[in-house]
Structure 1
Amino acid sequence: MTSGTASVADSLRRALDRMTPNERRAAHRLLADYPLAGLDTTARFGEAAGVSAPTVLRMVAKLGFPSYGAFQDALKAELAARAAPPLTKGLAGAAAGDDLLAAFTAAAAANLAETMANLPRAEFAAAAHLLADPRRPLHLLGGRFTDPLAEYMAAHLRVLRPQVRRMTGQPEAWRDRLLDVGRRDVLLIFDIRRYSRDLLALAERAAERGASIVLMTDQWLSPISKVAKHVLPAHVVVPSVWDSSAALMAVAEALVAAVVAERGEAARDRLAALERLRGEA
């Protein structure tokens, strides 16, 4: 069974190497339509994944759940957490008496540890490879509280490679930008609970046009995960009415470091050119 703040998706990714090929098919089906696929009956879940109902049950058992019902209860709890409004979060921790700074620090540190422990290395490497490719136009944007992370990454990435663009302004303006988005384009999107319908609509339309979506999200997975090529989840819960972006920022900075490493001499040449421009200013 999942432990601490780990989601079912976290446990699923950790268990993939221990699964049979058919169990992995069921696991990938769940991740492709998370968490709704797991709320169906075992027969329908298995049919959608192309495996038998007993295979679904064996996959669930490898996650540590004593029954399919307990597995579904965990998914239902995650659905409720996804939709939790700010007023239901963190009030007990903020209420008096305790050392809030210590509690917040401990929660943020735990988020970082859980995120890095559960982040799929192959997924991270593949996302970094996409972001490093100078032939692929890169567009970055985020939600109400995560858009500054997109701006932060864009500021670094445009130094390291060409064709880095920010999508800003109203959603109507995003749709205008889609006119020039095609199979070579990459969208890096930040989206955590409560998830943005506008970002979902944009991601779906960009995917329809052949663009590759890299999603940075929370442990419950934004609905954008259904159309994303790569999904990088981070843990966000702290004793506050708002979620923390600390672990998301760490993953963002790790991606920038990975792009520097992959670009190698080309990145150093651009950095040197920028320093020369600054010296001339």
Structure 2
Amino acid sequence: MEGNRDDLMRNIQGRFPKLSKGQKLIAEFILKHYDRAAFMTASKLGSNVGVSESTVVRFANELGYEGYPELQKSLQDLVKVKLTTVQRLEITKDLVSSENALKGVLKADMENIRATLEKINQKTFDSFVESIFSARNIYIIGLRSSSTLADFFAFYLNLILENVKSLNHGISDIFEQMLKISDEDLIIGIGFPRYSNKTIEVLDFAKERGTKICVITDSLLSPLAARADLSLIAQSNMASFVDSLVAPMSVINALIIAVGLKKKDHVAETFNTLEDIWKRYDIYN
């Protein structure tokens, strides 16, 4: 199906005269509130406009989709990079309530992990791990909400390897921290909607230097993937104004474990030393 908002809306408008009365109600709602419709189930959308779930499914078929999930994904692809925090808050009201927030969010996170497991490419994952071992230096960049993922990844890789640099805002500018980056190095970019412009600029800078680029992002259509040599895709469809980072965190965990298994003797030695330090300085209870 068409890949941008204008094409999708034009498709709906072009077919509008031939739609049934109930389907026209759906079309009008999507044309006015496509950002909300993108995250509604077929049942919820039907309830909002006063038609049956089956009418919503037939509407999707009428537009040329095999089913409603395919139409919903097209809508989500259009809006997820554009939604403001206020719009995300409005979507949250449609998806979860204070009564079902726990189960609703946990189910959405479970679905993100399930979808990621089905779609992720094992060969790309293996190549990603090999790229980590073949690099002279490893730079990791993830900003805004993705900074948590980047910090976690860098923390554990630093326990296994000795050539990991976390790029972040601090005393020096990020580009100053990359001053000596070259084609012998690897940069790992982490980013999810809404994508940070600074992360994209950093990847462009690295690309100019011939640096290998590996990314963890939500789609091959993301601006990070467009600049990458290798892309690991982790689904992050949001159930609220809070980014869903469960699936990306799981992928990062898998990368850390895979790297650690290849250096298991070194890792064992490192953690034995750390245990002595933790015990000596009473780090843990």
Normalising by structure 1, we get a TM-score of 0.67
**How far apart, in 2, do the equivalents of 1:266 and 1:126 lie?**
22
**How far apart, in 2, do the equivalents of 1:233 and 1:102 lie?**
25
Identical aligned residues as a percent:
21
Task: Determine the structure 2 residue equivalent to 1:217.
Answer: 217
Of structures 1 and 2, the one with the larger relative CO (CA 8 A, separation 6+) is 1
Task: Determine the structure 2 residue equivalent to 1:131.
Answer: 132
Question: Is 2:92 the counterpart of 1:91?
Answer: yes
SS in 2 for 1:192: coil
Structural mapping, 1:1-281, within 5 Å = 78-89=77-88, 90-93=91-94, 96=97, 98-133=99-134, 136-169=136-169, 173-219=173-219, 221-278=221-278
Taking structure 1 as reference, are residues 103 and 77 closer, same or farther at Cα in structure 2, changes over 3 Å only? closer
**How far apart, in 1, do the equivalents of 2:106 and 2:73 lie?**
27
Unaligned runs of 5+ in 1: 2-64
Taking structure 1 as reference, are residues 170 and 228 closer, same or farther at Cα in structure 2, changes over 3 Å only? farther
Stretches of 4+ moved more than 6 A in 1?
Answer: 71-74
User: Residue deviations 1:155-206, cap 9 Å, x none?
Assistant: 1111101111111116971111232100121111111111111111110110
Confirm or deny: 8 A CA contact 1:171 1:198 kept in the other structure: no
How far is the alpha carbon of 1:228 from its aligned partner? 0.9
How far is the alpha carbon of 1:76 from its aligned partner? 7.3
Confirm or deny: 8 A CA contact 2:137 2:186 kept in the other structure: yes
Confirm or deny: 8 A CA contact 1:161 1:267 kept in the other structure: no
Taking structure 1 as reference, are residues 204 and 189 closer, same or farther at Cα in structure 2, changes over 3 Å only? same
**How far apart, in 1, do the equivalents of 2:172 and 2:271 lie?**
35
SS in 1 for 2:232: strand
Unaligned runs of 5+ in 2: 2-63
**How far apart, in 2, do the equivalents of 1:229 and 1:177 lie?**
22
Confirm or deny: 8 A CA contact 1:78 1:220 kept in the other structure: no
How far is the alpha carbon of 1:265 from its aligned partner? 2.4
Task: Determine the structure 1 residue equivalent to 2:4.
Answer: none
Taking structure 1 as reference, are residues 171 and 82 closer, same or farther at Cα in structure 2, changes over 3 Å only? farther
How far is the alpha carbon of 1:78 from its aligned partner? 1.6
**How far apart, in 2, do the equivalents of 1:114 and 1:101 lie?**
20
**How far apart, in 1, do the equivalents of 2:174 and 2:148 lie?**
17
Taking structure 1 as reference, are residues 155 and 220 closer, same or farther at Cα in structure 2, changes over 3 Å only? same
User: Residue deviations 1:33-53, cap 9 Å, x none?
Assistant: xxxxxxxxxxxxxxxxxxxxx
**How far apart, in 1, do the equivalents of 2:102 and 2:179 lie?**
47
Name the count of aligned residue pairs.
214
Task: Determine the structure 2 residue equivalent to 1:12.
Answer: none
**How far apart, in 1, do the equivalents of 2:234 and 2:271 lie?**
29
The amino acid that maps onto 1:269 is E
**How far apart, in 1, do the equivalents of 2:150 and 2:273 lie?**
24
**How far apart, in 2, do the equivalents of 1:141 and 1:260 lie?**
21
**How far apart, in 1, do the equivalents of 2:224 and 2:118 lie?**
23
Normalising by structure 2, we get a TM-score of 0.66
How far is the alpha carbon of 1:219 from its aligned partner? 3.3
How far is the alpha carbon of 1:266 from its aligned partner? 3.1
How far is the alpha carbon of 1:270 from its aligned partner? 3.1
Task: Kindly name which structure, 1 or 2, has the bigger radius of gyration based on alpha carbons.
Answer: 2
Higher alpha-carbon deviation: 91-100 or 220-229: 91-100
**How far apart, in 2, do the equivalents of 1:66 and 1:244 lie?**
27
SS in 2 for 1:145: helix
Q: How large is the Cα RMSD of the aligned pairs?
A: 2.9
